[in-house]
Copies of this chain bind each other. A is one copy, B any other.
């Protein structure tokens, strides 16, 4: 087991990464002394597969357990689900030493963290992420929130968990498309911060797709370390440091939105967004064309799409201008100066952005070989 500390003074916590470590969750919680009543928010698939195991470990530590099933889809990040879960928690909360366990993917983590942040002015919560995407990204750093009809994540706060336990064994519940989606974020960390990780991915991507425990543990540990370091420096995304984690996200979010959140999942869209960001970096002479090709090669290797299908340029541009990363009329992109090095650039001419997106658009009769997407 690897232990990574997220040092945020009073709000510090650890990330435990390992294979089969879910058995130790009871001991971790006893040590933390955060309460007696565990309210576990999870999804039906995870509960069926690993619910009993979690329950057993919690019971052995003399904790009371209640499970709450919600679907692990974006629709659950609604005020409606919030309300129903809140009412259920208030009923369960009799002894007044309650805490929450988010046992699922990013949706469950975001919703659970938000509930923990506002219930009785904040109660402790623990993240046990069960997707690769959540293990390497969303479970760390305390971003929590729900959606409004007007936009995603419009309601939310920064509220840190008391523990993140990433058991890579749980990843065997995922299908290949979900694994690839997580890999897109792993590639992102490599591209923005860690050339060695990039080389490792280049060599080992097959073992990742085949869910080899040792390899999964290595990459989750690597990414958790990078994310922890960034969150420590800029917890509230105020200093422009945490911003680099948005590499590929500006255009990625626009692609997701333009495709009505249907054709592409988050990871696939972010993969495409990274390629657009790399192309823009190349247009601005921050990197050479060979670097774009290296990134594109890795994305292709893990079977993530390298070209955008079924969405028009105009739709992407429109969605893009509603993205949170735009302040007023100014745009702001995280670009790269090489693999492992970022640069934030503002006010990029719209012409250059359009060119970069166009390059990635597949027109009928010019289909690429990528397997993701629609």
Binding site for B on A (CB under 8 A): 79, 82-83, 86-87, 90-91, 93, 95-96, 114, 117-122, 145, 148-151, 154-158, 236, 324, 327-328
Contact A87 B149 (CB under 8 A): yes
CB distance from A122 to the nearest CB of B (A): 7
A114 and chain B: residue at smallest CB distance: B118
Contact B155 A118 (CB under 8 A): yes
Partner of A154, one of B90, B155, B324, B328: B90
Partner of A86, one of B95, B119, B145, B148: B148
User: What CA separation (Å) do A219 and B75 show in the bound complex?
Assistant: 50
Contact B118 A157 (CB under 8 A): yes
| A236 proximity list for chain B (CB < 8 A) | 121
| A158 proximity list for chain B (CB < 8 A) | 121
Partner of A119, one of B79, B119, B121, B154: B154
Number of copies of this protein chain within its complex: 2
Contact B90 A122 (CB under 8 A): no
A115 and chain B: residue at smallest CB distance: B155
| A150 proximity list for chain B (CB < 8 A) | 87, 90-91, 93
| A154 proximity list for chain B (CB < 8 A) | 86, 90, 119-120
| A327 proximity list for chain B (CB < 8 A) | 96
User: What CA separation (Å) do A156 and B118 show in the bound complex?
Assistant: 5
8 other contacts beyond A87-B149, A120-B324, with CB at 8 A cut-off?
A79-B82, A79-B86, A90-B149, A96-B328, A118-B118, A119-B154, A120-B155, A122-B157
9 tightest A-B CB contacts, nearest first: A90-B150, A79-B83, A90-B148, A118-B155, A121-B157, A90-B154, A121-B156, A118-B157, A86-B148
CB distance from A345 to the nearest CB of B (A): 20
User: What CA separation (Å) do A87 and B118 show in the bound complex?
Assistant: 19
| A83 proximity list for chain B (CB < 8 A) | 79, 83
User: What CA separation (Å) do A90 and B79 show in the bound complex?
Assistant: 14
Partner of A148, one of B87, B149, B151: B87
| Pairs A–B under 8 Å by Cβ, sample size 13 | A79-B83, A83-B83, A86-B155, A90-B150, A95-B328, A114-B118, A118-B118, A118-B157, A119-B154, A120-B156, A120-B324, A121-B157, A121-B158
CB distance from A153 to the nearest CB of B (A): 8
User: What CA separation (Å) do A41 and B327 show in the bound complex?
Assistant: 26
CB distance from A112 to the nearest CB of B (A): 14
Given the contacts A121-B158, A157-B121, A90 and B328 also touching, CB distance less than 8 Å:
no
A156 and chain B: residue at smallest CB distance: B121
